[in-house]
Structure 1
Amino acid sequence: MTPIKLYRNPKSGHCHRVELMLALLDLPYETVDLDMANGAHKAPEYLKISPFGLVPAIDDGGYTLADSNAIMVYLVQTYAKGSKWMPQDPKEAADVQRWLTVAADNIYSGPCAARLVKVFGAPLDHSAAVARAHNLFKMMDAHLADRDWLVTDTITIADVAGYSYIAHAPEGGVDLTPYPNIRTWLGRIEAEPKFVGMATSPIPELA
């Protein structure tokens, strides 16, 4: 099998969730790190792959796709259809989709946004992002109080989608200490065979 090309920024949680999915599925892949500071993500050749100029994107034997959640769904449906990663039960499948929406909304506007400020200097409201992160984490910690995984009794793409920015929330100034169930859940993901981590950044004063 020809390796799947993953176009990425190595410190992007969106990119990491795709790399983690590729690794957990044991798929051959190669990373292409884009020099985004110098506009590589806006180059005409890259815009053919990712029309909005965003990372991550993949090239799987000529099939190109951008958007991290869409890529994870594609990888599972193409290479692991019917597996634990994407439940076939309609209610469980809907619940997975709900958590993918949480990743694109609550996680993005909370721990992701807080980290964008601290790691990349993004002009966002850090205090508001930290508050949203804590609101989300309180809900998730309660949700995980009597279960190992977000949806079923095993890991799914919902867990992969949520992992990266939550695990690296302290880099955005969001303390995970008050959330023991989340920290245990993160540990379960990190204990999965083939797990790969994301590049870390200095941890600022926590809030």
Structure 2
Amino acid sequence: MADDDRLVLHGSFTSSSTYKPILFLALAGLPFSFRTVNLKNGVQKEPAHLAINRYGQVPVLRHRGLTLVMSNVILDYLARTTGHFEAATEQDRWRAREWLAWENDAIVNVARVRHFHRFRKVDPAVMDFFLPGAEAALDMIDRSLAGRQWLAGETCTIADIGCWGRMVFMAEGGMSLDNRPHARAWRDRLMAMPGFALPYDLIPKRDAELPPIA
């Protein structure tokens, strides 16, 4: 494989935004290179990283001369480029991307609550503001999965990977799927897929070259 054709992902071990594209690549069995960005040490704000991500965030995907940021944009690109995890119909392909846009508006509250629990102490009023929105997003996922296996179409798509990838750290924010049976069954279907792993088992802690997953 030519160097320019190698997927290179920059990200962080503790980042749900990093987990989403890595989960895609693992489920698709695709090889890629990982470059770790230590958020704790502020590497994401240093000039070298800002040169590839103006927002000072992770992840970043570099491929075929392109540099892409924002996890859901990366999922969109990976689906279009590799053909993996695209829905069968045009309507469902657009629906999957609608889910990604909604995720960035709603499920991101799950990530915020987790961040405040684990990484940054905030006034309880701040938590009281974001927690209802996080719980409502989980409820929406549960309702939407009633009577169906996947969020968009008849197979797993980037909608499922994107939404689950943001929800995955919910327990670190005191949330769960215990009373959300449809979402719980959906999670179990994802976890049963070949290549699936949870973030701390999947995201490398240091730079790594990942081979194809058999």
Q: How does the TM-score come out when normalised to structure 1?
A: 0.87
- Does structure 1 conserve the Cα–Cα contact (< 8 Å) formed by 2:88 and 2:153? no
**Alpha-carbon distance, 1:176 to partner:** 2.0
The alpha carbon displacement at 1:88 in A equals 5.5
The one-character-per-residue Cα deviations of 1:84-117 (angstroms, maximum 9, x if unpaired) are x223533212211210012111011x21111111
> Is 1:121 the equivalent of 2:120?
yes
| Amino acid in structure 2 at the alignment position of 1:199 | Y
Moved more, 121-130 or 134-143: 121-130
Distance 1:38 1:96 in 2: 35
Determine the C-alpha separation between the residues in 2 that align with 1:141 and 1:147: 10
1:90 paired residue number: 90
TM-score, structure 2 normalization: 0.84
Deviations 1:160-196 (CA, angstroms, capped at 9, x unpaired): 0011232321111113211111111111111111113
CA distance in 2, matches of 1:187, 1:117: 27
What is the aligned-residue RMSD (CA, Å)? 1.8
Q: Which amino acid aligns with 1:159?
A: D
Superposed counterparts of 1:1-207, under 5 Å? 1=1, 2=3, 3-80=6-83, 85-87=85-87, 89-108=89-108, 110-121=109-120, 123=122, 125-199=126-200
Q: Could you say which structure has the greater relative contact order, defined with CA pairs below 8 angstroms and 6 or more residues apart?
A: 2
Shift of 1:128: 2.4
Stretches of structure 2 that go unaligned for 5 or more consecutive residues are: 202-214
Secondary structure at 2:29's aligned position in 1?
coil
Offset of 1:122 from its aligned partner? 6.0
Q: Is the 8 A contact 1:167 1:186 kept in 2?
A: no
- Name the SS for the 2:86 alignment partner: coil
Distance in 2 between residues matched to 1:153 and 1:128, nearest whole Å: 35
Partner residue in 1 for 2:208 = none
Identity of aligned residues (%): 29
Q: For 2:121 and 2:36, locate their aligned partners in 1 and report how far apart those are by CA, in whole Å.
A: 20
Partner of 1:205: none
Contact 1:130–1:174 at 8 Å: present in 2 too? no
Give CA deviations for 1:54-99 in whole Å, capped at 9, x if unaligned. Answer: 100012244221110111111111122xx5x223533212211210
Secondary structure of residue in 2 paired with 1:38: coil
Gaps of 5+ in 1: 201-207
Matching residue's letter, 2:97:
Q
CA deviation string 1:102-150 (max 9, x = no partner): 2111011x21111111122164722222211221222221211100001
Query: How far apart, CA to CA, are the structure 2 residues paired with 1:143 and 1:152?
Result: 12
